[in-house]
């Protein structure tokens, strides 16, 4: 009987072809664009706070500057503008995505340059306004880069593009976190930020070197039949935009966990100082604050939906514009996947990384085990980053080699199963070699799962709505993780007390008999339990995180069963250019308008049209 498996030479050729994507022009350009995306974020989120502190500002004043990054949490609010608006002159020269990229990068450069020419002690509000401008331009740049990353290649290259983006972003984070401090110490903060402004030219080079994607417009809105009523429409626009701004304030305060701006606006609106301070205290508390934050996000989404909803029984131009700008991407998504499968996909996106998000106690866990700060820094911040980058690379390779759906399935297994290594680490105590092994496995899995999820979310978007749909996915997928992660400490300490009382977690206590006396002792004293019970609490928590991953695994199989015809046959990937990951091609009514047919130079074979 003839063996139907591919020959060794065929498998080798397929492996080499999967690796070859990392040498392609688009992937190398993505490395530059990833650097440009990461640089402004850390410069205004973290590095600027060091400059402000050295300038003698209070911590309260500095904390307000964290709101400059609010734009990154709200990208989906103005993403429809990026999908629909074409820039004069630049659009004809560069295409829709690259023109927006170049414009936002020039604004970031200008903002950083003007910050470099400012003195925070004398011009604090100017620096704050410029930081907000850089944050808005940087977040908008992220929207456009994500859209170009998805539209410029076929599905098999989504993983490599996601990997290159993450590499570039990580490099930028290292550069933005260290180089400005060194320059400020050697010269001045003004010189430091001027150099950072110049380094954004890396992103400009990426925009100019990037191949031009296919220019695709969302379906045209036929509003010519509606009579124009300028005065009434101006009033309606003002009301709707006011509701959108309030919605953005609530969602941003919830997604960032920072209610300083909300407090300030309420105080200006007439609220008492006592009310404002109480709100801020509740917002920062755990777990009450997390519940408030999630409620604020949901309330903001409801207000956004209300602002975009047409007036019942009355057709107006503002209502039609906003309904189509925000509603069309969602309708397109559920039209292609259906209500049941679409709901499962959104649930999977929310749960995919949940087993990772709940591990927000790893720093205290390492300290409780008995590791020193230098050991933790050496393994996590240096070796761990290398392992993470390796996992990202493997994820990109698997997307090219096995397709998006298979890689998504591999990734959904990676996160929860890698968490089990911490069960073993708990029994080893402060052994540095064991920490190396654990961090290596966990970070490899994290990098792989992150790339798999990015590639999968990219495959879910539809031509013409790419920016809006992906911005929505990426803004909301961590929301459930924030809510569940708020309970991590309670679960560990609750399981520890149960172990001391002879409950189920006590089954782990015999495994911890070989730990040195100082291991877990400090944390146990704070928690009011025995050292062995605290170890059992941590082990129960890691098993709990594994259980959360099992839910995601179940959802992933349900999604794959609904996505692939017949419920099986993953080998049918990759889908054709009109059908991504098994989803049907758009109908004539759904199809966006293609302004320019792709040429061989513009887009590789198999790109979505």
Of 319, 337, 355, which residue constitutes the final position of a domain? 337
Q: Which of 425, 423, 430, 326 lies closest to 376 in space, CA to CA?
A: 430
Residue 606 region, left (φ>0) first, then alpha (ψ -120 to 50), else beta? left
Dihedral pair phi/psi, residue 54, rounded to 5°: -65, -20
Q: Answer whether residue 147 is part of any domain.
A: yes
**Highest averaged pLDDT of the listed ranges 260-274, 290-304, 416-430:** 416-430
Check residue 43 and report its DSSP letter: I
Q: Is the confidence at residue 602, as pLDDT, over 80?
A: no
Output the pLDDT for position 10: 61
Dihedral pair phi/psi, residue 216, rounded to 5°: -125, 125
pLDDT band at 582 (very low <50, low <70, confident <90, very high): very low
* Least-confidence region, from 402-411, 529-538, 575-584: 575-584
39 in the same domain as 28: yes
Q: Answer whether residue 6 is part of any domain.
A: no
Q: Which of 427, 330, 286 lies closest to 76 in space, CA to CA?
A: 330
Output the pLDDT for position 113: 95
Q: Is the confidence at residue 572, as pLDDT, over 60?
A: no
Average pLDDT score over residue span 483-503 = 86
Q: Specify the higher pLDDT residue, 565 or 469.
A: 469
Check residue 272 and report its DSSP letter: -
Q: Answer whether residue 393 is part of any domain.
A: yes
Q: Is the confidence at residue 207, as pLDDT, over 50?
A: yes
Rounded distance between C-alpha atoms, residue 355 and residue 278, angstroms: 32
1: how many CB neighbours lie within 10 A of its CB?
3
Q: Is the confidence at residue 64, as pLDDT, over 90?
A: no
Check residue 316 and report its DSSP letter: -
pLDDT band at 219 (very low <50, low <70, confident <90, very high): low
CATH number of the domain bearing residue 204: 1.20.1250.20
516 in the same domain as 389: yes
Which residues fall within 8 angstroms of residue 382, CB to CB, at 6 or more apart? Answer: none
Average pLDDT score over residue span 194-201 = 94
Of 337, 359, 380, which residue constitutes the final position of a domain? 337
Dihedral pair phi/psi, residue 217, rounded to 5°: -100, 150
* Residue entry with tokens 């990772």: 356
Q: What is the pLDDT of residues 313-324, one digit of tens each?
A: 778 888 888 888
Dihedral pair phi/psi, residue 249, rounded to 5°: -60, -45
Rounded distance between C-alpha atoms, residue 289 and residue 256, angstroms: 12
Output the pLDDT for position 535: 92
Q: Would you say 594 and 216 are in contact if contact means Cβ atoms under 8 Å apart?
A: yes
pLDDT band at 290 (very low <50, low <70, confident <90, very high): confident
378 in the same domain as 503: yes
Structure tokens given for 259: 């209610």
Q: What does each C-alpha distance from 472 to 77, 326, 339, 450, 457 come to in angstroms?
A: 8, 11, 17, 17, 10
Gap between the terminal Cα atoms of the chain: 43
Average pLDDT score over residue span 414-420 = 93
Q: Answer whether residue 598 is part of any domain.
A: no
Q: Would you say 548 and 484 are in contact if contact means Cβ atoms under 8 Å apart?
A: yes
Average pLDDT score over residue span 387-399 = 90
Number of domains in the chain: 3
245 in the same domain as 166: no
51 in the same domain as 36: yes
Q: What does each C-alpha distance from 171 to 53, 191, 347 come to in angstroms?
A: 25, 21, 32
Average pLDDT score over residue span 214-226 = 59
Q: Which of 203, 93, 25, 31 lies closest to 603 in space, CA to CA?
A: 25
**What's the chain's average pLDDT?**
82
* Least-confidence region, from 25-34, 298-307, 482-491: 482-491
Of 312, 337, 362, which residue constitutes the final position of a domain? 337
Output the pLDDT for position 579: 36
Average pLDDT score over residue span 68-85 = 83
Q: Answer whether residue 273 is part of any domain.
A: yes
543 in the same domain as 398: yes
Q: Which of 45, 150, 51, 47 lies closest to 97 in space, CA to CA?
A: 150
Which residues fall within 8 angstroms of residue 316, CB to CB, at 6 or more apart? Answer: 226, 232, 233, 236, 310
Q: Specify the higher pLDDT residue, 485 or 58.
A: 485
Q: Answer whether residue 15 is part of any domain.
A: no
Residue 217 host element (H or E): strand 216-217
Output the pLDDT for position 465: 86
pLDDT band at 204 (very low <50, low <70, confident <90, very high): very high
Percent of the chain at pLDDT above 70? 84
pLDDT band at 192 (very low <50, low <70, confident <90, very high): very high
Rounded distance between C-alpha atoms, residue 554 and residue 226, angstroms: 48
Q: Answer whether residue 581 is part of any domain.
A: no
Average pLDDT score over residue span 544-561 = 93
Q: Is the confidence at residue 587, as pLDDT, over 60?
A: no
Output the pLDDT for position 424: 95
Q: Is the dihedral of CA 401, 404, 408, 411 positive or negative?
A: positive
Q: Answer whether residue 222 is part of any domain.
A: no
72 in the same domain as 174: yes
Output the pLDDT for position 457: 92
535 in the same domain as 549: yes
Q: What is the pLDDT of residues 238-255, one digit of tens each?
A: 999 999 999 988 888 887
CA 191 to chain centre: 31
Output the pLDDT for position 567: 41
43 in the same domain as 181: yes
Q: Which of 202, 209, 207, 211 lies closest to 35 in space, CA to CA?
A: 202
Q: Specify the higher pLDDT residue, 595 or 367.
A: 367
- Give buried/exposed letters for 265-284 (b at 16+ CB in 10 A, else e): eeeeeeeeeeebeebbeebe
Average pLDDT score over residue span 404-413 = 92
Q: Can you give the pTM of this predicted structure?
A: 0.81
Q: Would you say 91 and 99 are in contact if contact means Cβ atoms under 8 Å apart?
A: yes
Q: Is the confidence at residue 177, as pLDDT, over 80?
A: yes
Output the pLDDT for position 544: 93
pLDDT band at 595 (very low <50, low <70, confident <90, very high): very low
Output the pLDDT for position 193: 93
Q: Would you say 399 and 451 are in contact if contact means Cβ atoms under 8 Å apart?
A: yes
3-state secondary structure 412-478: HHHHHHHHCHHHHHHHHCCCHHHHHHHHHHHHHHHHHHHHHHHHHHHHHCCCCCHHHHHHHHHHHCC
349 in the same domain as 438: yes
Rounded distance between C-alpha atoms, residue 426 and residue 407, angstroms: 30
pLDDT band at 229 (very low <50, low <70, confident <90, very high): confident
pLDDT band at 260 (very low <50, low <70, confident <90, very high): confident
Q: Is the confidence at residue 532, as pLDDT, over 60?
A: yes
Domain residues for the domain of 197 are: 21-211
318 in the same domain as 306: yes
140 in the same domain as 64: yes
């Amino acid at each position: 009987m003839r063996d139907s498996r591919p020959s060794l030479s065929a498998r080798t050729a397929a492996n080499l072809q999967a690796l070859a994507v990392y040498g392609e022009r688009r992937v190398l350009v993505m490395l530059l664009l990833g650097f440009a995306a990461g640089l402004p974020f850390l410069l205004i989120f973290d590095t600027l706070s060091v400059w402000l502190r050295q300038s003698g500002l209070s911590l309260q004043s500095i904390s307000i500057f964290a709101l400059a990054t609010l734009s990154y949490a709200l990208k989906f609010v103005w993403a429809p503008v990026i999908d629909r608006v074409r820039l004069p002159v630049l659009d004809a020269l560069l295409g829709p995505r690259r023109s927006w990229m170049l414009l936002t990068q020039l604004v970031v450069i200008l903002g950083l340059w003007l910050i470099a020419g400012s003195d925070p002690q004398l011009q604090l509000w100017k620096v704050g306004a410029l930081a907000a401008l850089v944050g808005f331009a940087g977040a908008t740049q992220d929207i456009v880069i994500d859209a170009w990353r998805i539209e410029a290649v076929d599905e098999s290259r989504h993983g490599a593009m996601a990997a290159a983006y993450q590499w570039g972003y990580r490099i930028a984070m290292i550069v933005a976190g260290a180089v400005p401090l060194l320059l400020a110490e050697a010269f001045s903060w003004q010189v430091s930020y001027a150099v950072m402004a110049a380094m954004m030219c890396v992103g400009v080079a990426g925009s100019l070197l990037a191949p031009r994607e296919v220019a695709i417009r969302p379906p045209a809105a036929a509003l010519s039949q509606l009579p124009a009523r300028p005065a009434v429409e101006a009033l309606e626009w003002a009301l709707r935009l006011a509701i959108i701004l309030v919605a953005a304030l609530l969602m941003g305060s919830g997604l960032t966990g920072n209610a300083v701006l909300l407090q300030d606006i309420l105080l200006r609106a007439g609220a008492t100082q006592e009310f404002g301070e109480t709100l801020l205290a509740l917002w920062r508390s755990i777990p009450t604050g997390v519940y408030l934050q999630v409620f604020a996000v949901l309330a903001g989404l409801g207000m956004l939906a209300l602002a975009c909803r047409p007036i019942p029984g009355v057709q107006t131009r503002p209502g039609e514009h906003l309904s189509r700008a925000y509603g069309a991407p969602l309708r397109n998504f559920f039209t292609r996947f259906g209500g049941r499968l679409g709901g499962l996909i959104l649930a999977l996106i929310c749960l995919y990384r949940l087993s990772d998000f709940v591990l927000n106690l790893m720093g205290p866990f390492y300290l409780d085990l008995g590791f020193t700060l230098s050991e933790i820094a050496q393994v996590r911040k240096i070796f761990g980053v290398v392992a993470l980058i390796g996992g990202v690379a493997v994820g990109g390779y698997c997307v090219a080699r096995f397709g998006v759906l298979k890689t998504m399935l591999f990734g959904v297994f990676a996160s929860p199963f890698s968490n089990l290594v911490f069960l073993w680490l708990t029994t080893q105590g402060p052994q540095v070699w064991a920490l190396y092994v654990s961090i290596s496995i966990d970070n490899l899995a994290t990098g792989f799962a992150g790339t798999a999820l990015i590639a999968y979310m990219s495959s879910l978007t539809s031509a013409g709505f790419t920016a809006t749909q992906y911005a929505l996915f990426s803004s909301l997928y961590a929301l459930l993780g924030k809510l569940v992660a708020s309970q991590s400490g309670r679960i560990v300490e609750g399981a520890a007390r149960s172990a001391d009382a002879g409950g189920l977690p006590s089954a782990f206590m015999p495994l911890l008999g070989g730990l040195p006396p100082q291991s877990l002792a400090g944390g146990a004293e704070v928690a009011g339990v025995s050292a062995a019970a605290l170890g059992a609490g941590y082990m129960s928590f890691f098993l709990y995180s594994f259980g959360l991953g099992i839910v995601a695994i179940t959802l992933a199989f349900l999604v794959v069963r609904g996505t692939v015809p017949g419920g099986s046959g993953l080998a049918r990937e990759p889908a054709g250019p009109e059908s991504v990951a098994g989803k049907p091609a758009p109908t004539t009514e759904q199809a966006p308008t293609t302004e320019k047919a792709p040429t061989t130079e513009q887009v590789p074979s198999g790109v979505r049209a």
